[in-house]
Amino acid sequence: MLMKTASQSLTEQLCARFADRIRNRLLAPGARLPSVRLCAEQQGVSVSTVVAAYDQLQAQGLVVAHKNRGFFVRDLASNMPFAHAGKALNATKTIANSPIDAAALIRGMFHQVSSKPQPGMGVFPAEWLEASFMPAAVRKVTGASVLRDLSLNYGEPKGDSGLRRALSLRLGALNIHADPGQIITTVGATHALDIISRTLLRAGDYVMVEEPGWAVEFARLDALGMRILPVPRSASGPDLAVMAQYCQLHSPKLFVSVSVFHNPTGYCLAPGSAHRLLQLASQHNFHIAEDDTYSHLAPDHATRLCALDGLQRTLYVSGFSKILAPGWRVGFMVAPPDLVERLLNTKLLATLTTPALLEKALAWCIDQGQLRRHAERIRRRLDQARARSVKLALAHGCTFAAEPAGLFGWVETGVDTDALAQRMLDEDYLIAPGALFHAVRRPGTLMRINFATTQDAAFWKVFARQRDGMR
């Protein structure tokens, strides 16, 4: 709570609190601040204190006032106010000028709000990932002569050959049969998706993306000048009728999909939907980028488009940041033979090569079975965490909009989660409101939780108190 002190008035404290959130992108450009009366109630201050704080924010150029509508966060990058977005678009309309900015979301989601476990985070807690075999792997591949060679020379353009051979064997277990020459290593899975977009698309092209979906992907494509076509995602897969309509109207060139443990719902693609989707891709001549970031958490027999398609119209993307080492930033893509050289050229123009030392260490972890055993431990721990988190969510009056699976839960709260997120920040908790997972940000009652960081009953008690206060 705000406390009046000799050095700082309540108005200055409230202004500083909002200014910090805006600058750290915990309030996104275009977001509406709470009404003056509501903010006064939430913060335990007078209406005049809130009015004065909002006036200071406006004077600092952080917010803009719209008559009879309230105060809205400015876009600091362009110094232009965002219009208040929120109209739902039907299946035949395209989306442009998304108010969600990739850097803004990353800054917000990874800003250290407090030392408490954060429900909105998209990664495992650091203590889950600690493993003794990783330092051993680095020592193994950094003998004096090897370290000199790796430091003084560029690595292989496609990535370390030993890692690509190990990945080829690993992919075979998923029924994805790819020669090491079809594999290109990247600086994480997001880098792989970016290379695919820059190779296959040009500004103004239409791209289909699942909705709800990964907000960074929406923002990344928007920043490249692509026209985003949101495809509703259900438990069995993407809405094929909507996709067919898009194909007739806009001739999209790419579809970005998460087949296994879809983010944020946890859905897995059904075989029937997968077959029909591949038929649609063949009929309308578009490629599919299959993002399998959570492959290490899923059973090998889960339906994957690349396994069914044989890497003809599909490209496979995955990485190791989620399961092993976020700081190593090792990812990869697998492509049809006729696209490999084009994709490699794009990689070389952007990054030249990728860090050979870390790739060699990762290859050792895979070859020695260390990665497999580590992933098994993480899966067991996650299963236990999910059970506890689901039990707590249900006990505190929530329901799940999708069957709980994988790392994330898609939770129905019954209140506006954009507004709830600001209340929870006052309690030092960062949540991920459902609006973040749509191509055009609009208020909603869903939120995404991380099962690994929502096992604490203290969070759910605070959540329930704030939610009930909103009701």
pLDDT at 91: 34
Query: 295: helix, coil or strand?
Result: helix
pLDDT at 93: 35
Q: What is the mean pLDDT of the chain?
A: 88
Angle ∠(321,323,327) on CA atoms, nearest 5: 30
The two three-digit tokens of residue 99, written as one number: 């108010």
Domain extents for the chain? 10-81, 114-127+373-470, 129-369
pLDDT at 277 over 80: yes
pLDDT at 107: 62
Q: What is the pTM of this model?
A: 0.84
Q: Is 68 left (phi over 0), alpha (psi -120 to 50) or beta?
A: left
Q: Distance between CA 414 and CA 393 in Å, rounded?
A: 13
pLDDT at 87: 32
CB 448 within 8 A of CB 437: yes
Give per-residue burial for 215-233: e unless 16+ CB within 10 Å, then b.
Answer: bbbbbbbbeeebbbbbbeb
pLDDT at 94: 34
pLDDT at 450: 96
Give pLDDT tens digits for 392-442.
999 999 999 999 999 999 999 999 998 898 889 888 898 989 988 998 877
The mean pLDDT value for 182-203 works out to: 96
CB 307 within 8 A of CB 174: yes
- Across the strands, what pairs with 383? none
pLDDT at 88 over 70: no
Residue 400's φ and ψ, nearest 5 degrees, are -110, 130
Q: How sure is the predictor about 112, in pLDDT bands with cuts at 50, 70 and 90? A: low
CB 409 within 8 A of CB 447: no
CATH topology of domain 129-369: Aspartate Aminotransferase; domain 2 (3.40.640)
Domain 10-81 is found in CATH 2.60.40.10: no
H or E element that contains 261: none
Question: Comparing 139 with 375, which gets the higher pLDDT?
Answer: 375
CB 221 within 8 A of CB 190: no
For the purposes of burial, counting CB atoms within 10 Å of the CB of 416, is it exposed (0-12), middle (13-18) or buried (19 or more)? middle
The two three-digit tokens of residue 337, written as one number: 């033979």
CATH homologous superfamily for 114-127+373-470?
A: Aspartate Aminotransferase, domain 1 (3.90.1150.10)
Give the pairing of strands 446-450 and 432-433.
antiparallel
Give pLDDT tens digits for 321-339.
889 888 889 999 999 999 9
